[in-house]
Amino acid sequence: MTRTPFALAALSLAILSGCNKAPEETQKNTVQVESAQAVTAVAPIAKKVPHEMTIHGDTRIDNYYWLRDDERKAPEIINYLEAENAYSDAMLAHTKKLQSSLFEELKGRIQKDDDSVPVKDGQYYYSSQTRGDNEYATYLRSSDFAGTDQEVILDVNELAKGHDYFAVSGLNVSPNDNLMAYGEDTVSRRVYNIKIKDLSTGKLLEDTLEGTSGYVVWANDNKTVYYIKKDAQTLLGYQVYRHTLGTPQSDDELVYEETDTSYYTGMSKSKDGSEIYIWHSSTDASGLSVLNANDVNAKPKRLIEREANLEYSISKLGNTYYIVTNLNAVNFQLMKVDIDKAGDKANWQSVIPAREGIKLEGVELFDDYLVYQQREMGQSTLIARNLTSGKELPLSFNDSAYTINAYGNNELDSDTLRVYYTSMTTPGSSYDVNLATGEKTLLKQQTVLGDFNADNYASERIFVTARDGVKVPVSLVYRKELFKKDGTNPLLQYGYGSYGATMDPSFSSARLTLLDRGFVFAIAHVRGSQMLGRPWYEAGKLLTKKNTFNDFVDVTKSLVEQKYGAKDSIFAQGGSAGGLLMGAVANQAPELYKGMVAQVAFVDVVTTMLDETIPLTTNEYGEWGNPNEKEYYDYMLSYSPYDQVSKQDYPNMLVTTGLHDSQVQYFEPAKWVAKLRDYKTDDNKLLFKIDMEAGHGGASGRFKRLEDAALNYAFMLDLAGIKK
């Protein structure tokens, strides 16, 4: 929704034609290759073609605007990107063996033959499995939890053959369990073609729905589906169509069209299957329209008219809607209303009122229980309430900081809650929790192969005082016997801080690669997330966005002062909007960091937010501001990483992107790297890796993704002086 290969190439590169620098002016670096021969790799220098952009009486000159090609076919641009890849490979040639060993180490922790915990939906239990060296999952179903009669319903490995990139989405079985819809993306632009499979014969129907968001919602007649069509230019899903199986897509009926480009459109179905919802969501407002799932001619009806700054979502139980809303509640409250009276907010009755310092995050409904999730002082908890007695039971876990989420709870007539639980030292675990007693049954914990022992690691949760006196939460993890707290450990600090997305502490088997080499890993829960509730988000967006960057810098300084990390071996990493964070921090405090990894980085904020043809732009005025208004233009310009590049030293930097990225277009980091290379006054590494086949999410295979991780880790370990 919002803005998370390493073959060795040629070691000597020619300067691109059209460059405006002589060879002696280009940045040069000497690398040591395996043969111990010194080789000079010349960084690609992009030509300058001044492009003027004027608004509010201010003219900006973008010398690298020419790197944008919406078709992604221009030979000059493709050649430039390939030259950047070759240069990065050359500069990291001496780490090739390290990358290879890291990849094998990362891969060696993964259980090749793995099965998910079955989830009941209708008459079947659904699960997935991976086998051997297969890159993708196989999806199955069975009539019982034990899987005694498992049948394969989709083998993604077979579908992916012949594709450099392949992703499926939105597997959804019809109410009668006979048909399954799913989306296919072979380009990584997150535009899907939907296929329908007959599960009794294993054959595909002739129906193919093109240009969609990747999923359908079934009407209860088992032959009508609703889907969202995407705009071909902006890639915004904005039209809801109704399709009857066996008819051409051209005959599909337009059921709803979103005319306000600041809204996203989504769909879902009530747990009891009686209603279909069209969700409308912008940065600071939301709502929904309702269709009768039993009427294939139904027209959507707004629950209430949309209002600025009013957010709500509903869950249906019998004839009652339970509503999570910010109505008269900054941190949200739970209300309920009879369905036939829901259109008037005056009828909404408080169930869990607004509470100071506690954010209500969501609810899960059962016939006899209401389970709600809340966040207090940065920690989420689940509380089960008996709907008859009103008695509440908190669902407790041992770690001081953890991630917990309910999932797969598709049945109303259940007294068991399925949850996923993890902490920075506890691998991902699935539990069934008895809602009457709180008793937990562990169904599965992620297997980590090798010599992993959770007792070897420790995590902490601390608060750092930022420059304006606000206390910022920080999650830390390290290997006990390697952590000295004497200012000698290398440290990697991660951050995001946008869209209210909260990066809760969780386990990563890949991260062990760093921890086992003495690294400390820290998550800075900067403003712009909702770690400390909705006000924490509001304090890191629009005209307060710089708090996000200041928090990150202040956390780094404090961690060094408290001797969690060595001042000359601090690294930073962030992706997408977290890449914006990396860019802003690199401009503001480059001296603090030995190296940075900026992944799919959103760095050209002003130009992108002025261009309504780019995906996600108009939807995000509520997040960043609308630069067509001078107040927002001036503020955004003052922190935009691309615009604020200056003649100064920068950290060693590894920047990554995907050519087909639909959320942060490849040309943003491409332009940023070109400008950095022109302006920076140091001899530090500036490397740009472009996956020529992937998009925003990176490589599609489970093992191929590990190559990217190995590259990132090798970059940091090499700079930290850790050679194996």
Q: Are 478 and 521 in contact (CB under 8 A)?
A: yes
Among 604, 661, 691, 718, the active-site one is 661
Question: 254-271 burial, b for 16+ CB within 10 Å, e for fewer?
Answer: ebbebeebbbbbbbebbb
Among 576, 640, 662, 700, the active-site one is 576
How far is residue 143's CA from residue 297's CA, in Å, rounded to a whole number? Answer: 33
CA atoms in the 13 A half-sphere facing the CB of 708:
23
Among 280, 525, 660, 696, the active-site one is 696
Count the Cβ atoms, other than its own, within 10 Å of residue 232: 9
Position 255, amino acid: V
Here the tokens at position 335 are: 């209300």
The residues, any chain, with a CB within 8 Å of residue 432's CB and separated by 6 or more, are 416, 417, 418, 440, 441, 443
**Is 576 known to be catalytic?**
yes
DSSP 698: B
The residues, any chain, with a CB within 8 Å of residue 605's CB and separated by 6 or more, are 580, 624, 636, 639, 640, 641, 642, 643
- The closest of 492, 502, 504 to 528, measured between CA atoms, is 502
How far is residue 59's CA from residue 51's CA, in Å, rounded to a whole number? Answer: 10
How far is residue 431's CA from residue 403's CA, in Å, rounded to a whole number? Answer: 13
What is the DSSP track for 179-229?
EEEEEEESSSSS-EEEEEEETTT-PEEEEEEEEEEEEEEE-TTSSEEEEEE
Q: Are 472 and 526 in contact (CB under 8 A)?
A: yes
Here the tokens at position 576 are: 């997408």
State CA 188 to chain mean position distance. Answer: 14
State CA 243 to chain mean position distance. Answer: 30
Here the tokens at position 52 are: 């003027």
3-class state of residue 384 by DSSP: strand
3-class state of residue 407 by DSSP: coil
Element (H, E) at 85: helix 75-91
What is the DSSP track for 493-533?
EE----TT--------TTTHHHHTTT-EEEEE--BTB-TT-
List active site positions: 576, 661, 696
